[in-house]
Structure 1
Amino acid sequence: MSSSSGNSGPDKPFMCGICDFSTESAQEFSQHRETHGVKPFICKYCNERYAEADHLGQHLETHAEERPFECVKCNRNFANMEEFDDHMLDHSEGLFECPICNEEFPDQATREDHDCEGLYPIRQTWQCENCDMEFEDEDSLEEHMEQYMASWRTCFRCGAQFPDRDSLERHDHECLY
């Protein structure tokens, strides 16, 4: 390998953009570039990176038979996501539609994962003020309160209720009745 600092021109057309290396030979320049770890050639199927276009070309041949993207509607397989997405447009008649916003999705699972940007109705819950438990309906909250309050202690003088004996005893020392 030859190296020249600042000596470029027709005799040394291959110049490294990272260091001051330059050469006449494309092969020598290619080998030098690998010393910097520069790998600008990216596989569109698996994102593997290569320093040389011909190395990427050899790698792409390994994907010739791979078709990991399968259409669940017609069972066709595609080599990359771009081809798969284009194909899914052919199925636009049978898309799964969100009942709230009418957005369409290629499959049921994707539609169910979609959050409709917060447009779904807010689920009503009832919360216990004493223990912060939440209930789906008001009847369940009332039933909980009856069970919860049944275990409380009542001050025989003023009727105040307390969740435990210690609280009742503290109150008992301060009760004005």
Structure 2
Amino acid sequence: MYYSYLARHVRTHTGEKPYECKECEKTFRYPASLGGHVTIHTGEKPYVCKECGKTFSCPKYFRRHVKTHSGMKPYECTECGKAYSCSSSLREHARTHSEEKPYECQHCGKAFRHQRYFKKHVRMHSGVKPYECMECGKAYSCSTSLREHKRTHTGERPFECQHCGKAFTRHASLRGHMRTHSGERAYRCTQCGKAFCWPSSLRKHVRMHSEEKPYECQQCGKAFWYPANLRGHTRIHAGEKL
């Protein structure tokens, strides 16, 4: 038994992932992780919350969800005092203060604070979109994007603000909305100190300091900071009235 625990631990150093999913070829360090992943393809969600009935395919996310009902938040940020029910959420939050982005794409160099966003990004390079909507045929590289898309068909908005009752299709949208009530601006520019509610707003702002203009017109080569500006410019070539 000692050897099996040691062998599992060693994989965290070597990066070895010997357990492969037959559906999508994704690999894992541990058989339990593979077992949890496979349920994504089968649609099976055996872990049911007794409090609210929400179901989960992965035991890790199920345990994390259960803590939200207990109200216990033992993991507190020493920087701003914000507390969380699980240590992984605190670690992710801490990166908003440190600007640490440990997950870097080997294809384009883009870095991420959170592993889940990094994994989504990597699939964009591979072009693999195994998650298809049965309603309209649109395909996605990750299951969460498909679930979010399905709500455009059903009209479901499961994420509701406890302050004003406004509901959202995505949890990320609810989190951003909650900041309008709390006034929290966790994303701060290191150049000028200006703070933002959304990481995307900070990224847009930073381009003004770097003069980076990544959105280029294919017709004339003019470049813009934001995609909305490029779209507006493109209409000039198309002859549309603005």
Shorter chain as normaliser: what TM range? under 0.3
Q: Which has the higher contact order (CA 8 A, sep 6+)?
A: 1
What TM-score, normalized to structure 1?
0.25
| TM-score of the two chains, using structure 2 as the length reference | 0.19
